Chains A and B, each alone.
Chain A
Amino acid sequence: MRVKVLFFGRLREVAGKSEEMIDVPQGALIEQLFKLCAARKPELTAFRPSLVASRNLEFASWNTALHPDDEVAFLPPVSGG
């Protein structure tokens, strides 16, 4: 199944893109999706401890199961205001 992944801020710069469609196995977790992204772009791995994840506009834990067409983002520490 396919999910959409979004990158922002410093992670967008490291990924070299702001979004990507990725094929994941049925029932894959957000953590596995991150590992797939990091396999394509190893520089992402070092950022993992600083990130939180979102699924469909809500913060989501790393063990959240994905569904087809989900929109997932890996969010660096926020600095609005």
Chain B
Amino acid sequence: MTTATKLDVVQLVRQPISVSRLVRYVRASTDGAVIAFDGCVRDNSNGRRTLYLEYEAYESMALAKMREIVADMHKKFEIGRVAMVHRLGRLDIGEASVMIVVGAPHRAAAFDAGRYAIDTLKKTVPIWKKEFFEDGAVWSEGEQPPMPGETAVSVKRASNPR
């Protein structure tokens, strides 16, 4: 199994995520760019007013998959440190659910690696989101991770038989 480097930060947390702390940690003297992706809680789902979200994870596997993504980022892109932090539990509107920070000597690699990281996380990391509305709650439709041997493309299939 591949692993992230010792300097990378990969965490699941239940408290608010501080982007400034992560950016300070990631930024190195060899960097010319640091990008931060802040995935935050929107106030609606297709126009339906969202009250709050709850996230749960298969924590041990989620951390393993997040470390694999960070290791792949280092193989694919010329980057420095990475921080990838996902929050679990109840989140209110406007709070960050996921933060990905990437440092690199040049901006293109930082942007590309950050985009790769969030896109891959959303397809392969076992985390689930439940959306709470004024009149009920639903599990988000989500994406089916590729099975072994399949390519890592999004496979949209029936996800909620109800």
Seen from chain A, the residues whose Cβ lies within 8 Å of a Cβ on chain B are 6, 8-10, 46-47, 49-50, 52, 54, 57-61, 73, 75-81
CB of B97 within 8 A of CB of A81, answer yes
What is the total number of residues of chain B having a CB less than 8 Å from a CB of chain A? 40
B161 at the interface (CB under 8 A from A): yes
B148 at the interface (CB under 8 A from A): yes
CB of B139 within 8 A of CB of A54, answer no
From residue B12, how far is it (CB to closest CB) to chain A in Å? Answer: 10
Give the number of A-B contacts (CB < 8 Å).
100
Residues of B within 8 A of A47 (CB): 161
Residues of B within 8 A of A77 (CB): 141-144, 157, 159
CB of A54 within 8 A of CB of B57, answer no
Residues of A within 8 A of B62 (CB): 80
CB of A75 within 8 A of CB of B127, answer no
CB of B39 within 8 A of CB of A81, answer yes
CB of B148 within 8 A of CB of A79, answer no
CB of B122 within 8 A of CB of A59, answer no
Distance of A52 Cα from B97 Cα, bound (Å): 24
Q: Taking A59-B145, A81-B39 as contacts, is the C-beta distance between A76 and B157 under 8 angstroms? A: no
From residue A45, how far is it (CB to closest CB) to chain B in Å? Answer: 9
